[in-house]
Amino acid sequence: MTLKRIAIFFISLLMLTSTSLVYCQTMDEMWDSATSAKENPNLKWFREAKFGLFIHWGLYSQIAGTWKDKNYYGSGEWIMNQAKIPVKEYEKVAADFNPVNFNANEWAQLAKDAGIKYMVITAKHHDGFAMYDSKVSDFNIVKATPFKKDPMKALAAATAKRGIYFGFYYSQFQDWHEPNGGRNTWDFEESKKNYKAYYRQKAIPQLKELLTNYGPLGIVWFDTPGGLTKEETQNLVDSLHALQPKSLFSSRVGQGLGDYKDFGDSEVPPIPIEGAWESIYTHNDSWGYIKHDLNFKSSREIIQLLANVASKGGNLMLNIGPDGKGNIPPYSVQFLKETGKWLSKNGESIYGTTYGFVPEQPWGVTTSKPGKLFLHVFKKPPDGKLFVPGFTNEIAKVYSLANKKTIVFTRKGKDIYVNIPLDEDAHPDEV
């Protein structure tokens, strides 16, 4: 006979409070988790990680959202396309790009302090500029800028030192710098493009450099596929996996050949999704640095987003956009550190969890681990009685995760009412 006992935790910081129910897993549930863990052993770390840091950094960070006195909004990394900047003019930006304040150890330490488990950074975005030492194209940070160094080398080392999985974003199809690359139609005529030549001459050799020269990569994050058949994509995937068999490829490699699924930008599925997947969000409203975009998400918003994504079974990869000098925006530093502080007390309710079996409620969301259900309380019910419906297991204990204090509850059949301490965790800004 299976013992079905449950304990509830209660997690808190700011207004995000969580409670956990501890219970024992049934045999059926155990078989389920055993089979899914066998799927692809390379995904194990990714599924447990839950929190990644995305970094968009390139020549566009130097432009910072303003071109010829006009301010652009939205995606700073798209400014070459938005302002239809000719290749020859865009190339000149490299002469001013000197990120002297870049400090790989500081960046990696911030990620560590924020509770981040993996980092993915733009090695080459759609503008075609390589942020690493590439022998394939001179349009790169070592050859074309006064900085002359390879920041990716330093970052690969700094993340490895801290046990953070490291990965590259690489725009495999769009390359606005190359006549044969995808999507630059303001300099180059679409009908004359030879995508295969571009893949052969630039994208594939550069990807091989990235998969050879930077140690083991956790992820290669492809983006916006195009110009290849399914068979050609399969060949690309195979030839790259041969270099790093353990590295995960994002779903945007195309043709359904990725190792895990990425949702559209800033998208969380409404109900739990099985399998390995990731939601991507950016900290303000742009992926690449825009100096006039200060619409940063507070740590409270980040924490709730992280919990919400985890409650549907996925990972959150949150993006930041360092500036042209190599500084991470101060709000990103502050809010990431605050998020890390919350995770240091409440990480058990996020890392290594999967979705909770109690669906989203007016008060918040749930995550779970074998024998435990975590109640993430975003909004306390006014009467202090948290309603948890449809709960069949026996409850061993209900307690606050942050301070381990036991919490009183009552149950009526399958309905649980948890007495949330109203006085605790009150926030002066509670609206």
Question: Please, which residue, 2 or 224, has the CB nearer to ligand JFZ?
Answer: 224
Contact characters 219-238, ligand JFZ, x per CB under 6 A: ----xx--------------
Using CB positions, name the residue nearest to ligand JFZ: 264
Contacts with ligand JFZ in 60-99 (CB under 6 A)? 75, 77-78
Contacts of 409 (CB under 8 A, 6+ apart): 8, 395, 398, 416, 417, 418, 419
Q: Beta strand 165-170 with 118-124: parallel, antiparallel or unpaired? A: parallel
Q: Scan for tokens 């026996």, then name that residue.
A: 394
Question: Please, which residue, 318 or 401, has the CB nearer to ligand JFZ?
Answer: 318
As a whole number of angstroms, the longest Cα–Cα distance in the chain is 73
Q: At closest approach, how far in Å is the CB of 197 from ligand JFZ?
A: 23
Question: Please, which residue, 23 or 60, has the CB nearer to ligand JFZ?
Answer: 60
The rounded distance, in Å, linking the Cα atoms of 90 and 125 is 14
Question: Please, which residue, 77 or 278, has the CB nearer to ligand JFZ?
Answer: 77
Q: How many chain residues bind ligand JFZ (CB under 6 A)?
A: 9
Q: Beta strand 372-377 with 7-13: parallel, antiparallel or unpaired? A: parallel
Q: Scan for tokens 């953070």, then name that residue.
A: 164
Q: At closest approach, how far in Å is the CB of 401 from ligand JFZ?
A: 32
The rounded distance, in Å, linking the Cα atoms of 22 and 196 is 55
Exposure of 365 by Cβ count < 10 A (0-12 exposed, 13-18 middle, 19+ buried)? buried
Is 293 a binder of ligand JFZ (CB under 6 A)? Answer: no
Contact characters 186-225, ligand JFZ, x per CB under 6 A: -------------------------------------xx-
Q: At closest approach, how far in Å is the CB of 162 from ligand JFZ?
A: 24
CB atoms within 10 A of CB 379: 14
Question: Please, which residue, 48 or 265, has the CB nearer to ligand JFZ?
Answer: 265
Among 102, 198, 260, 287, binds ligand JFZ (CB under 6 A): 287
Among 32, 138, 238, 265, binds ligand JFZ (CB under 6 A): 265
Task: Give whole-number Cα distances, 284 to 71, 152, 176, 358, in Å.
Answer: 16, 24, 25, 31
Which one-letter amino acid corresponds to residue 79? Answer: I
Contacts of 63 (CB under 8 A, 6+ apart): 76, 79, 93, 324
Q: At closest approach, how far in Å is the CB of 347 from ligand JFZ?
A: 26
The rounded distance, in Å, linking the Cα atoms of 389 and 402 is 23
The rounded distance, in Å, linking the Cα atoms of 22 and 396 is 6
Q: At closest approach, how far in Å is the CB of 59 from ligand JFZ?
A: 13
Contacts with ligand JFZ in 108-167 (CB under 6 A)? none
Contacts with ligand JFZ in 356-375 (CB under 6 A)? none
* Cβ contact 236:228 at 8 Å: yes
Strands (E), 23-116: 51-55, 66-67, 70-71
Q: At closest approach, how far in Å is the CB of 133 from ligand JFZ?
A: 22
Q: At closest approach, how far in Å is the CB of 252 from ligand JFZ?
A: 7
Is 264 a binder of ligand JFZ (CB under 6 A)? Answer: yes
Is 48 a binder of ligand JFZ (CB under 6 A)? Answer: no
Q: What is the DSSP letter of 406?
A: B
Question: Please, which residue, 132 or 399, has the CB nearer to ligand JFZ?
Answer: 132
The structure tokens listed for 376 are 């993430």
Binding site for ligand JFZ (CB under 6 A): 75, 77-78, 223-224, 264-265, 280, 287
